[in-house]
Amino acid sequence: MPSPPLSMKPTGWFQVAWSDEIAVGAVHRMTYFGQDLVAWRAESGRITVMGAYCEHLGAHLGHGGTVTGENLQCPFHGWQWNAEGRNVCIPYEDRPNRGRRIRTFPAVERNASVYIWHDAAGREPFFEAPDVFAGFGDGSGAGDYYRQQRLFEPALAMHPQYVLENGVDAAHFKFVHKTPINPVFTRHDFDDPVSYVDFTITFEGDDGQRIEDVNSGVQAINGGLGIAVTKSWGMIDNRTISCITPVDDTTSDVRFSVYIGRTPGKDGERAALRAEEFGLEIIRQFRQDIEIWSHQRYSASPALTGSEHSGFTAIRDWARQFYPDAAAPAVAADPA
């Protein structure tokens, strides 16, 4: 009997926009996890992501809804809804409807991105979305890097888990990314909802070199299935953020963001141009993965070799905690 396909309603943090796409006063329409949503930014700058339909008579708040102060006003009869999804004003009545509420999603802005917490069971967040700088504890910040470069690929037929499985898949680098030799994993830590993968890798030299002589690598932090951040060492300084967000039961939006490090004292136009080009090269490499993922069929019982077995087993066991039908539901932990 074939195993059921992976659920497209996993639990965790997922990117729904880049922060600068939603200005103060803007109302954005989006569909994620099979639900029509709006994201809007109040005058204070606070972002809210909630169901798109007004609880009064069902108008779509993303078609003519307006931000007034800290509330979103429906275009149909002017009812106002606050950041908790509560009705705070009915313009033609003395008091609001305190009972009706539009579903809101916990939302954070990090990595110049808007992330929402999705959990089919309605649980509060039990882990934090990783920060591409603070997550590595090295005192770095966006000011040390050139502007974020981006790739957006909407509605691809792929599942978030494919991207995470890259993090245990040593053999694909040579074929998909044309590395001279296979990388070697130095850390696979899948104990918690936030997991860690480190590997030694080079994109230079020939296939005769030994991995022991390679002095470059990548560290990755996976915040659930939706967000992975990476830091490179020993090569051109770069950070990446890859985010896969299910749209419906078959497709996902893919967002990929790249930062290239500035070199102190070398901040001229030439250096900026080179950084831009290197960012594009990283994006090109990510596209090579996407070409595979977006046409891949999930293999529930893959033909793994001996060297692949432990990594794939570890990541698939880890991934199970994020699915609504998980045999062992994720344990709520203090997100602090």
Which residues here bind ligand FES, judged by CB under 6 A? 54, 56-59, 74, 76-77, 79
Stretch that binds Fe ion, among 159-167, 213-221, 240-248, 301-309 (CB under 5 A): 159-167
State which residue, 92 or 268, has the beta carbon closest to ligand FES: 92
CA angle at residue 68 from 63 to 69, to 5 degrees?
140
CA distance 290 to 284: 10
- Cβ of residue 171: shortest distance to Fe ion, in angstroms? 11
- Cβ of residue 68: shortest distance to ligand FES, in angstroms? 13
- The three-state DSSP-derived secondary structure of the chain is CCCCCCCCCCCEEEEEEEHHHCCCCCEEEEEECCEEEEEEECCCCCEEEEECECCCCCCECCCCCEEECCEEECCCCCCEECCCCEEEECCCCCCCCCCCECCEECEEEECCEEEEEECCCCCCCCCCCCCCCHHHCCCCCHHHECCCEEEEEEEECCCHHHHHHHHHCCCHHHHHCCCCCCCEEEEEECCCCEEEEEEECCCCCCCCCCHHHCCCEEEEEEECCCEEEEEEECCCCEEEEEEEEECCCCCEEEEEEEEEECECCECCHHHHHHHHHHHHHHHHHHHHHHHHHCCCCCCCCCCCCHHHHHHHHHHHHHHHHHCCCCCCCCCCCCCC
Q: From the list ligand FES, Fe ion, none, which binds 166 (C-beta under 5 to 8 Å, kind-based)?
A: Fe ion
State which residue, 78 or 261, has the beta carbon closest to ligand FES: 78
Q: From the list Fe ion, ligand FES, none, which binds 150 (C-beta under 5 to 8 Å, kind-based)?
A: none
Judged by CB under 5 A, does residue 182 bind Fe ion?
Answer: no
State which residue, 79 or 162, has the beta carbon closest to ligand FES: 79
State which residue, 58 or 335, has the beta carbon closest to ligand FES: 58
- Cβ of residue 102: shortest distance to ligand FES, in angstroms? 10
In this structure, are residues 296 and 161 in contact, taking their beta carbons and an 8 Å threshold? no
Q: From the list ligand FES, Fe ion, none, which binds 168 (C-beta under 5 to 8 Å, kind-based)?
A: none
Q: From the list Fe ion, ligand FES, none, which binds 199 (C-beta under 5 to 8 Å, kind-based)?
A: none
- Cβ of residue 166: shortest distance to Fe ion, in angstroms? 4
- Cβ of residue 32: shortest distance to ligand FES, in angstroms? 22
Judged by CB under 5 A, does residue 165 bind Fe ion?
Answer: no
Tokens of 37: 């949503």
State which residue, 91 or 265, has the beta carbon closest to ligand FES: 91
Q: From the list Fe ion, ligand FES, none, which binds 174 (C-beta under 5 to 8 Å, kind-based)?
A: none
Sole binder of Fe ion in the list 289, 290, 293, 330 (CB under 5 A) = 289
Stretch that binds Fe ion, among 63-71, 153-161, 197-205, 285-293 (CB under 5 A): 285-293
Stretch that binds Fe ion, among 16-24, 123-131, 160-168, 180-188 (CB under 5 A): 160-168
State which residue, 55 or 253, has the beta carbon closest to ligand FES: 55
- Cβ of residue 292: shortest distance to Fe ion, in angstroms? 8
CA distance 122 to 119: 5
List residues binding Fe ion (CB under 5 A): 166, 289
